[in-house]
Chain A
Amino acid sequence: MSETTVSARPRRGRVSSRAWGVASGLAAAATPLILLTILVVLAIFAWRSVVWNGLGFFTSTKWNLGNLYGGSLVVRHGIAAPQGAEYGMLVFVTGTLLSSAIAIVLAVPVGIGVAVALTSFSPRGLATVVSFFVELLAGVPSVVFGLWGFTVLVPWIGATVGPGMSKVLGFIPFFGGQAQTGLGLLASGIVLAVMIVPIITAVSRDALAKVPRELLEQGRALGLTEWEIVRDLSLPVARPAVIGAVILGLGRALGETMAVLMVSGSAVNSLPHNLYSPISTMASTIAAQLDSAMTDATGMAVHALAELAVVLFLITVLVNLLVKRIVRTLEQSPVLLWAERETE
């Protein structure tokens, strides 16, 4: 109640302001602190693996926990790991990059297409409805995507799509070969694509909607068709944000865990040799392996997973910083500055 009468009691008001400042400042410090703690804790945990594995971690395709049941230990640089243990992340990095690449190739044209449909080619009522469903898709839990992928997409790829593509496009490297169960690279890429389309669409749609009206009207005045306006005016102006949207989607695909885990076939020790091969991603491996890693008495398996987590963390952080940079470029885009001056 004191706030309403603060003019009579300025000191009290000032104290209360300061209390807000301190309390909110402490809370605000939490976010960077948490981020820093995550990085430091993961780095400390990964250190034993970094020392024990050396560069082999980045070049080896073998992931083997070794003999966990009382075999002799292998000691390197004073650090022990089970006999026969080998930790290499190459299979998981390959799986991550390839599945994300497929997702991007599939999701980018479709995602941008939907954004264009929403901003330029649909009556407002319809656009609202479609937007609602696209946002709904963004909210669907990843296990539900996984469930759909596992029970619908995977059998379909195994029985129809895979053999079909193999027959028709088999002459292209990587497209030939047996589709087997359907669990694998293609299924992972498609599920990831469905998951990242809403992100690409939402961000691109907002960027396209921000393109100055005057610019589009001028295009219309010149007698351009709607498609020419989209191609030559809207998309070029919104390009930095659309690129940002794509990279944002990439970030999500790189780090997705559950959906991939359910449809990837969880490959270990073998690189994919065609589109239908089983794979593992870095994120799905952390989820799949932690259980068995905990049984390693030397703890090396858990440390190796920490190193995998650090690498994944750094990749996604880089991707996100890239988005920030690109979006900042958009904010300084000369066309938008021009438009702002014009409208003021």
Chain B
Amino acid sequence: MIAARPAEGAAGRARTGISLGRRVRHRTAVVLVWLSVAIVLLPLAHMFAMVTSHAVRALSPKLFTTSTAGVAGGLENAIVGTIQLVVLATVAAVTLGVLGGIWVREFASPRAAFPVRLAADVLAGVPSIVIGYFGYVTMVTWLGWGFSLLAGALALAVIMLPYVLRATDLAIGRVSEELRDASTALGATQAATLRRVILRSALSGIVTGALLAVGIALGETAPLLYTAGWSNYWGLLPSFTHNPVGYLTYVVWTFINQPFAEAHALAYAAAFLLMILVLLLNVVVRRVIVRHTEEAR
């Protein structure tokens, strides 16, 4: 049953010509390789099961309609804060990232594109706590914004930016030459070709990259610790500076260290919500990719 799809030919031959030793080695490799799959998926399954089972006792409508009070209450403030931070960060990162990706692929000479791509790749590798520290010394103290929505969102945007830029860059690179040429041959200007042909066919790639970046932003804690701070309150029309914001990942990491069962339940509930969001994002990304490849055929 494990002798896999491409091996059928070889397996047929195995009975006739392949020595026992080689067959045993093949079998051993198959077992080891699937053992590693089990080793990887086991923690994931355990994580999901554990978080879900502990979160259940905190899951109620109250969770979404009351704010945190001390280490009890609900998660309304953290949920709203997370949404505000991620939306604001996404707006900033997608604007800069998509335009930057367009420039790199459509307008820049290879020599000019190189430093931008390099910077994006390097920035993607900078530890998020370093970006958080940078945000703290620049926005929170030097600009005097204090712990705030804007400082937190911009720190997140810096983390998202390289992913959006590179995804746009790659997605535009996959648009076929024929399509471009056809558009040009019809007399469209560069701008019209870009807007109506290139961006349209690169859209699913760009959306995938942006969703990936949103997933990363949702799960970040380190860049927010010293930029967004923490707050038990929230406003529908937030003040962008001078007021700290709550967010879900903060609840996970601080509340689990509290000696109260209620705090623990909130930490698990926050982790549960984050995992569900990541799961949903992954499903959506899959659908976008699948739909795109079907369209391409």
Contacts and interface: CB of A to CB of B under 8 A. Distances in A.
B36 A114 contact: yes
A17 interface: yes
Interface string B15-40: 00110001101100110111111011
Contacts of B187: 6-7
B92 to A, nearest CB: 10
B44 A137 contact: yes
Contacts of B175: none
Contacts of B46: 148, 152
Contacts of B274: 141, 143-144
A294 to B, nearest CB: 9
Give the one of A6, A34, A133 with max B CB within 10 A. Answer: A34
Interface string A102-118: 00000001110110110
B282 interface: yes
A32 interface: yes
A152 B42 CA distance: 13
Interface string A141-163: 11111111011100000000000
A141 B119 contact: no
B189 A114 contact: no
Contact of A3 (B10, B99, B129, B192): B192
A23 interface: yes
Contacts of B58: none
A141 B44 contact: no
Contact of B126 (A24, A226, A255): A255
A337 interface: no
A254 interface: yes
A123 B195 contact: no
B22 A228 contact: yes
A198 B126 CA distance: 19
A226 B37 CA distance: 18
Interface size class of B (residues with CB under 8 A): 35 or more
A142 B282 contact: no
Interface in B159-192: 161-162, 165, 187-192
A255 B41 contact: no
B155 to A, nearest CB: 11
B61 interface: no
Interface string B110-133: 000001101111111111111111
A309 B130 contact: yes
A262 B253 contact: yes
Interface stretch (A63-71, A75-83, A268-276, A319-327): A319-327
Contacts of B108: 25, 28
Interface residues of A, number: 100
B188 A3 contact: yes
Give the one of B2, B36, B128, B133 with max A CB within 10 A. Answer: B133
A201 B119 contact: no
Interface stretch (B69-77, B220-228, B237-245): B220-228
B191 A255 contact: no
B278 interface: yes
B185 to A, nearest CB: 11
B215 A31 contact: no
Interface string B98-114: 01111110111000000
A70 to B, nearest CB: 23
B252 A144 contact: yes
A31 B127 contact: no
A113 B18 CA distance: 24
A251 B96 CA distance: 25
Contacts of A141: 218-221, 249, 252, 271, 274-275, 278
Contacts of A7: 187-188
B127 A120 contact: no
A110 B61 CA distance: 41
What are the 5 tightest A-B residue pairs by CB atom distance, in nearest-first order? A141-B219, A255-B127, A113-B36, A13-B189, A27-B99
Interface of A: 3-4, 6-7, 10, 13-14, 16-17, 19-21, 23-32, 34-35, 37-38, 41-42, 45, 109-111, 113-114, 116-117, 120-124, 130, 132-137, 139-148, 150-152, 194, 197-198, 201, 216, 220, 223-228, 230-231, 251, 254-258, 261-262, 283-284, 286-287, 290, 302, 305-306, 309, 312-313, 316-317, 319-321, 324
Interface of B: 2, 4-7, 9-10, 13-14, 17-18, 22-23, 25-26, 29-30, 32-37, 39-41, 43-44, 46-47, 50-51, 95-97, 99-104, 106-108, 115-116, 118-134, 136-138, 158, 161-162, 165, 187-192, 194-196, 215-216, 218-222, 225-226, 249, 252-253, 256, 267-268, 271, 274-275, 278-279, 281-282, 286
27 contacts: A3-B189, A3-B196, A6-B187, A24-B100, A26-B99, A27-B96, A31-B120, A31-B123, A31-B165, A45-B137, A117-B36, A117-B37, A121-B34, A124-B5, A133-B41, A139-B219, A141-B220, A142-B221, A147-B253, A148-B51, A150-B256, A194-B43, A220-B10, A224-B10, A225-B22, A262-B256, A316-B126
